[in-house]
Amino acid sequence: MTGFCLGCASNRRPVLMDGFIATCSAALAVRMQPSVQDYLFAAHSSVEPGHRHLLALLGQRPLLDLEMRLGEGTGVALSMKLVQSAVTAFTNMSTFSSAGVSGPTTSAECS
């Protein structure tokens, strides 16, 4: 998993980390190549005792905190939809000018 993080970063691909073991691997990758940190995203916060410490070490705030401990990529599976939704909103949302919005309204116009 450490090699996966290194490879993804070298190819400018993001890595969505799952639980404790995946985050350990990512932390090792960052130790080997600090620029890997720019490509890491924490899917969730595991209840495993050391996970929060590793997330803090990596400067990560998890997308979800559901008190999960199962592993098997459960946190990534759940948070992936959140990431996909964020990307869709970011890439497809209209700007004020493309939507024909003229500018900010005043409180008098809203009443």
Interior/surface letters 88-103, b for 16+ CB within 10 angstroms, e for the rest: eeeeeeeeeeeeeeee
The whole-number pLDDT of residue 96 equals 78
User: pLDDT by residue (tens digit) across 9-56?
Assistant: 999 999 999 889 999 999 999 999 999 999 999 999 988 889 999 999
CA angle 76, 15, 11 (to 5 degrees): 150
Asked if 72 is an active-site residue, the reply is yes
Q: How far apart are the first and last CA of the chain?
A: 57
User: 111 pLDDT band (50/70/90 cuts)?
Assistant: low
Task: Select which of 48, 67, 72, 109 is catalytic.
Answer: 72
Task: Tell me: pLDDT of 70 over 90.
Answer: no
Pick the range with the lowest mean pLDDT from 35-49, 67-81, 92-106: 92-106
